[in-house]
């Protein structure tokens, strides 16, 4: 018996598809950030689909295809240090003057 992989299967389970394509390397903050953004990426996909359909254009991109091209690293790079969970004080501690 031969089992074949059907990527269309993932369309019925967007949570599994997201877990497959989200970044799994990097620091703890990076991984936790993307674990919490599953709903946001799905909403962005649905908004893209709705915008295309409302303008009368056919929309053939699946959620899996959308995730394959999702700019995870670029979106992370655009975040502020506070949004990334980085404490800036660890890099520049307070200076105390003894007068």
Give 37-89 pLDDT, tens digit per residue.
888 899 999 999 999 999 998 888 888 889 988 888 888 888 887 777 776 66
Residue 96 reports pLDDT greater than 70? no
Confidence at 22, pLDDT banded by 50, 70, 90: confident
To 10 degrees, the CA torsion angle through 77, 80, 82, 86? 40
Q: Which residues contact 34 (CB under 8 A, 6 or more apart)?
A: 22, 23, 72
C-alpha distances (whole Å) from 85 to each of 1, 7, 30, 82 are 49, 34, 9, 5
Residue 3 reports pLDDT greater than 50? no
Domain locations along the chain: 10-90
Q: What is the pLDDT of residue 97?
A: 59
> What is the distance between the alpha carbons of residues 34 and 12, in angstroms, rounded to a whole number?
21
């Amino acid at each position: 018996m031969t089992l074949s992989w059907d990527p269309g299967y993932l369309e019925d389970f967007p949570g599994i598809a997201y877990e497959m394509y989200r970044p799994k390397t990097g620091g703890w903050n990076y991984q936790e950030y993307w674990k919490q953004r599953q709903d946001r990426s799905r909403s962005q996909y649905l908004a893209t689909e709705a915008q295309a359909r409302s303008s009368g254009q056919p929309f053939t991109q699946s959620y899996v295809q959308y995730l394959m091209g999702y700019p995870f690293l670029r979106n992370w790079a655009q975040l502020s240090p506070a949004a990334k969970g980085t404490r800036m004080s660890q890099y520049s501690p307070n200076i105390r003057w003894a007068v």
